[in-house]
Amino acid sequence: MRSEKIKPRKQDITLPRKSLKSIELFAGAGGMALGVSQAGFAHQAVVEIDRDACDTIRANKNGSSNLTINWPLLKRNVCRLNYSRFGRDIDLLGGGPPCQPFSLGGKGAGHDDTRNMFPQAVRAVRELRPKTFIFENVNGLLRWTFTQYVDYLRLSFAYPELRKSNKETWIEHHRRLERYHTTGAADTYRVIIRSINAADYGVPQNRERVIIVGIRSDIGVDWQFPAPSHSHERLLHDQWITGAYWEKHCIPKKNRPRMPTHLRDNIERLGESDLSIEPWQTVRDAIGDLNHPAEIGSPDVANHLYIPGARRYAGHTGSQHDCPAKALKAGDHGVPGGENMLAHRNGRVRYFTVRECARLQTFPDTYVFKGGWRSTTRQLGNAVPVKLARTVAISLGNALITAHSRNDFPLNG
């Protein structure tokens, strides 16, 4: 075990250039909300119903994560939220509706699942008329089973004023939206639905997610989804062509793993990797400077407590040190055995600590989590990676400011 004191990591923060207002729904532990704050937006409301997640946000409002101090936290069910109190001057509406209705690990009930909150997300867009919105969900949403429903979501967000009546099923409403759309009617929002891997944006995790972005059509914003900033090929290049990765981590040649056989046949291709893009971040990059967790926890870093009982079994072998982690999961039916574990080269495994999970989700070390292990694992498994949220929000914020200077529309209104 290392004995030196670990200095908590701080994240780069983008200071606001303009007064950009935002509202966060389904905030959870605050991953997307924190990234949006770092991008320069001021939250007018942060809405979450889970008690432990609210306790986490409150703990950080009173702590050293200064970007959360002014968050107006509302412990509310969004189904009962009255949006008229906020006016119509919101620049960005964000959130991660519950993913269980569309998760590969769930029942796949989709729209028929009572936890499906996409209708509430559409209602928020309709009543707030934000300039932009970002919603995140699991990649399972794009399964063929939900093809029609995804198109329904796209049209619902594009024409939120065409609300579903109580007498309509969602399929009947979808047909009405299609008829309206094919008349050539102008959409209220331009909607982009994109499947991305968070690893491509500097998150040390193979986390494939769906991002839904909407931009109000009347404000003339010119925007496209941010290009990936990191790549798998560059990581392989730094590991197996130059060795820069191992040198960065002070790993002598005798202790380095052998090059995988399948890479030897592609060595020339790796030598042609684009060096203008950064390498994927690995588990070692994320947690390599942390002490091994002790049963009493690390006094220097919050939430770094050893959790016993990890074991490997078929399909649950843990995450390797020198690759991005497997996607963390919430573990609503018990903490997963593979996705939330670290695998050592000697075959042993252990659970990631809460702090290690937080680093894999790119939360700063100053951000603390409240609740028992099962609750904090759920909060982190459900979270939007802070760095990913910040990247998308910075891009939208820049586009809003550019359009404002070009078209002279009010940033708030």
Q: Which residues are part of the catalytic machinery? A: 99
**Tokens 């040190």 sit on residue:** 321
Contact in structure between 328 and 322 (CB atoms under 8 Å): no
b (16+ CB within 10 A) / e for 104-143: ebbebebbeeeebbbbbbbbbbbebbbbbbbbbbbbbbbe
Q: Apex CA 408: angle with CA 402 and CA 410, to 5°?
A: 95
Compute how many other C-beta atoms are within 10 angstroms of the C-beta atom of residue 73: 20
Q: Dump strand ranges (E) for 72-144.
A: 73-75, 92-95, 132-138
Question: Which letter does DSSP use for residue 59 in this model?
Answer: H
Compute how many other C-beta atoms are within 10 angstroms of the C-beta atom of residue 358: 30
Using DSSP's 3-state secondary structure scheme, residue 214 falls into strand
Long-range CB pairs of 56-60 (<8 Å, 24+ gap) are 56/29, 56/30, 56/368, 56/369, 56/370, 56/371, 56/376, 56/379, 57/27, 57/29, 57/30, 57/33, 58/370, 59/368, 59/369, 59/370, 60/30, 60/367, 60/368
Q: H or E segment at 264?
A: helix 261-264
Phi–psi pair at 30, nearest 5 degrees: 105, 20
Compute how many other C-beta atoms are within 10 angstroms of the C-beta atom of residue 252: 8
Distance (Å) of CA 203 to CA 228, 330, 352: 11, 18, 16
